Amino acid sequence: MANAPKPTTPVKKESSGTSGVFATLAIPIAFVVAILIYMFILGDPSHFKGGNPEGDPADYFGTVHKGGPIVPVLVTYLLMVFIFSIERFIVIGKASGTSSVDAFVKRIQGFLNAGNIDAASAECDKQKGSVANVIKSGLKKYKEMETEANMDVEQKTLAIQKDIEEATALEMPMLEQNLTIIATLVSIGTLTGLLGTVRGMIAAFAALGTSGAASSSQLAAGISEALINTAIGILTSCLSIIFYNIFTSKIDKLTYAIDETGFSIVQTFAASHKH
């Protein structure tokens, strides 16, 4: 029983390691790209009146650039949301397999009801992905228990159930990896945006204090530039929440499919081996 999950372990360790390397590389690359965007795209002279980056902005890009040095950090967060969301879409898509998970589960249950374990196992080979890997592991243990002479039906049923649980425990971490980063961006996006806004407001009112009377238009422009940080931070948080909920919903669906099919395997074995 303990040997069932072993062939899968190196693959999962490799997948986890690959995902970790991806995160380690993606974050600094996103930061460098964000700085380049801030300097050469948002800071392009064409976005400012008179072509002077020190002057008033001529469009929205120029206004964003006026948000200050916090802007590249916020753009980094925004890029990270998209980078890690694309990565999770790919990973979870592969985990789902080559066809609809719901259709796959129905086919497996049909084979189980017909007592055709070999056909169910072959279907797992065609489906591929995390769900199919777990189910195939359970089916393999199913066949092993049919020839096991030293255990009663209840022990065999528990052995199959435990094997499915072990295989699930190996697959699930791969699906949930890097979701923590997206979840973290939900909070720090807004907080960093507020930090940038507070910094901008301090600078605006400090300038007002040192220069004496200032026009309302100048003060409004300063506050507008400061609030850009909050706007980008809120946008980052909103996108993070949306993508995080999408991914957790997909993972929950895969987990339910595994639980449903695993239960069917266990019940089929118990029903077909009653004395």
Q: What is the pLDDT of residues 145-198, one digit of tens each?
A: 988 888 889 999 999 999 999 999 998 888 888 999 999 999 999 999 999 999
Distance CA(124)–CA(129), nearest Å, equals 9
Domain that holds residue 216: 6-272
95, pLDDT greater than 60: yes
Distance CA(16)–CA(175), nearest Å, equals 9
Q: Which is higher by pLDDT, 256 or 11?
A: 256
225, pLDDT greater than 90: no
Distance CA(228)–CA(67), nearest Å, equals 6
Structure tokens at 164: 């499915």
Q: Which is higher by pLDDT, 200 or 211?
A: 200
Measuring CA to CA, how many Å separate 223 from each of 37, 45, 55? 23, 22, 16
Angle at 39 between CA 34 and CA 45, to 5 degrees: 140
**Separation of CA 184 from chain center:** 11
**Is residue 1 a part of any domain in this protein?**
no
Q: What is the value of pTM for the model shown? A: 0.85
Please tell me the least confidently modeled range out of 78-92, 167-181, 198-212.
198-212
Q: Over the chain, what is the mean pLDDT?
A: 88
pLDDT category, 233, cuts 50, 70, 90? very high
Angle at 185 between CA 201 and CA 168, to 5 degrees: 170
Residue 242 CB partners (closer than 8 Å, separation 6+):
none
At position 7, the amino acid (one-letter code) is: P
Distance CA(130)–CA(33), nearest Å, equals 34
User: For residue 10, what pLDDT is reported?
Assistant: 43
Measuring CA to CA, how many Å separate 91 from each of 23, 105, 172, 266, 274? 14, 20, 11, 28, 41
**Is residue 257 a part of any domain in this protein?**
yes
User: For residue 213, what pLDDT is reported?
Assistant: 59
Residue 48 belongs to what H/E stretch? none
Given a contact cutoff of 8 angstroms between Cβ atoms, the answer to whether 189 and 234 are in contact is: yes
* Alpha-carbon radius of gyration of the chain: 28
Q: How many domains does the chain have?
A: 1
User: For residue 226, what pLDDT is reported?
Assistant: 84
Find the mean pLDDT for residues 103-132. 93
User: For residue 164, what pLDDT is reported?
Assistant: 95
208, pLDDT greater than 80: no
* Percentage of the chain exceeding pLDDT 90: 65
**Is residue 181 a part of any domain in this protein?**
yes
